[in-house]
Amino acid sequence: MIKIRFFYILLISSIILYSCGGYNSNGVSDEGSITFKLELQDTQGPTYKPQTVSSDPFRMAAIDCTAIGISTVDATVYDSSGTTLASGSWNCSVHTGTINNISAGSNRRVVINGKDSGGSIKYIGEQTGIAITANSITDVGTITITATTTGGTTTTTSWTMLKLSDTGQTGDYTTTFGEDSDYSINLPSYTDNGNGTITDNVTGLIWQKEDDNTSRTWADASTYCDNLTLGGQSDWGLPSDMELMSIVNYGIYNPSINTTYFPNTNSSSYWSSTAYAGGSSLAWYVYFGDGGVSSNGKSSNGYVRCVRGGQ
């Protein structure tokens, strides 16, 4: 009788272990899971006000899916290099999520996308620095979604200066700690939407995947984006200097950008919508040969990559 009970204990234990993840070639599970809760971060008032201001703290609230037009929530887990490890999807009203079968390791990142009935991303949340342990469920706590509230109606803010991508620089050039490569925050992550557009999973901005390889003046560049219809959308615009800088990868050059998601990018100047304060005839551009930023005469020519979903 004791032997039979022991057999069932072993059998049940094996089932539990198997449910937590897959097995490697040695028959040992090397995968784990994460669980988390989603909440809105109400940023009523100044968008860039520090959360530490106790007199007007950022309020936390449960997600009202109807108010912000969200029907489904997608979550994707990435490793430190941006490779997708696992994903999951559920109804927005659940407000919690669990993702299984994640390869064990450190510095995992989960990105949350709230989507409307048409599949358009309306909010983004993220948690970084997650350690996945084999055969275990890691509770990453609350993942906050940034939103603003006006007149009782909640609308999401997909782009703020608080949510910039990491630079992509991973090379060490001195033995002194503190170089860019010593920090990994908001690692660059993109989604190809399959319709000529790319979603930046960090900022929430949606980009024109490939520019038309045409050089234009600053005014013509703005007109081109204003008249662009792409991916079923017509609300495109010329990006600001900061928006354009957010897709630069400073770890590579000629061009300084992820060419998997932005193919055929010219190692040249791309116009921003930001005018130069020091002279009305100048505007800022980003040079995608090395990621440099400078100003040039508005009558000069530059390439154009349009954006939507920004401020």
Q: pLDDT tens digits for 234-276?
A: 889 999 898 899 999 999 999 999 999 999 999 999 999 999 9
Range ranked top by mean pLDDT from 79-88, 113-122, 175-184: 79-88
* Domain annotation covers residue 182: no
Tell me how far apart the alpha carbons of residues 254 and 256 are, in angstroms, rounded to a whole number.
6
Of the candidates 255, 254, 264, 269, the one whose C-alpha atom is nearest the C-alpha of residue 301 is 269
* Domain annotation covers residue 140: yes
Question: Does the pLDDT value for residue 183 go beyond 50?
Answer: yes
Residue 60 DSSP one-character state = E
Q: Residue 293 is encoded by which pair of tokens?
A: 């930023």
- Check whether residue 195 and residue 94 sit in a common domain: no
Q: How many domains does the chain have?
A: 2
Q: What is the pTM of this model?
A: 0.53
- Check whether residue 51 and residue 149 sit in a common domain: yes
Higher pLDDT, 176 or 54: 176
Higher pLDDT, 118 or 238: 238
- Check whether residue 91 and residue 204 sit in a common domain: no
Of the candidates 302, 306, 287, the one whose C-alpha atom is nearest the C-alpha of residue 215 is 302
Q: What is the DSSP string of 128-178?
A: EEEEE-TT-EEEEEEEEEEEEEETTEEEE----TT-PPP-------SSSTT
User: Cα–Cα distances in Å, from 288 out to 29, 241, 245, 270, 304?
Assistant: 44, 13, 9, 7, 11
Q: Which of 156, 173, 204 is the last residue of a domain?
A: 156
* Residue count of the chain: 311
Mean pLDDT, residues 147-151: 47
At 21 the pLDDT is 39
At 139 the pLDDT is 87
At 196, is the pLDDT very low, low, confident or very high (cuts 50, 70, 90)?
Answer: very high
At 175 the pLDDT is 86
- Check whether residue 223 and residue 289 sit in a common domain: yes
CA angle 284, 168, 260 (to 5 degrees): 90
At 162 the pLDDT is 57
Beta strand 59-61 pairing with 72-78: unpaired
- Check whether residue 138 and residue 60 sit in a common domain: yes
CA angle 281, 268, 249 (to 5 degrees): 110
What CATH number does the domain containing 203 carry? 3.10.100.10
Mean pLDDT, residues 297-301: 96
* Domain annotation covers residue 171: no
Which domain, by its residues, includes 259? 189-308
Rg, C-alpha atoms of the chain: 23
Of the candidates 105, 111, 71, 118, the one whose C-alpha atom is nearest the C-alpha of residue 87 is 111
At 116 the pLDDT is 82
First to last CA, the chain: 70
- Check whether residue 133 and residue 243 sit in a common domain: no
Q: Which of 156, 174, 208 is the last residue of a domain?
A: 156
Question: Does the pLDDT value for residue 225 go beyond 50?
Answer: yes
* Domain annotation covers residue 174: no
Of the candidates 135, 140, 137, 136, the one whose C-alpha atom is nearest the C-alpha of residue 107 is 140
Tell me how far apart the alpha carbons of residues 293 and 33 are, in angstroms, rounded to a whole number.
42
Tell me how far apart the alpha carbons of residues 133 and 18 are, in angstroms, rounded to a whole number.
14
Question: Does the pLDDT value for residue 171 go beyond 90?
Answer: no
What CATH number does the domain containing 147 carry? 2.60.40
* Domain annotation covers residue 167: no
- Check whether residue 149 and residue 196 sit in a common domain: no
* Domain annotation covers residue 234: yes
- Check whether residue 196 and residue 273 sit in a common domain: yes
At 36 the pLDDT is 83
Residue 58 DSSP one-character state = P
- Check whether residue 202 and residue 90 sit in a common domain: no
- Check whether residue 212 and residue 279 sit in a common domain: yes
- Check whether residue 291 and residue 199 sit in a common domain: yes
Range ranked top by mean pLDDT from 12-16, 20-24, 142-146: 142-146
Mean pLDDT, residues 205-233: 94
List b or e across 274-307, with b for residues whose CB sees 16 or more CB atoms inside 10 angstroms: bbbeeeeebbbbbbbeebebebbebeebbbbbbb
Question: Does the pLDDT value for residue 161 go beyond 60?
Answer: no
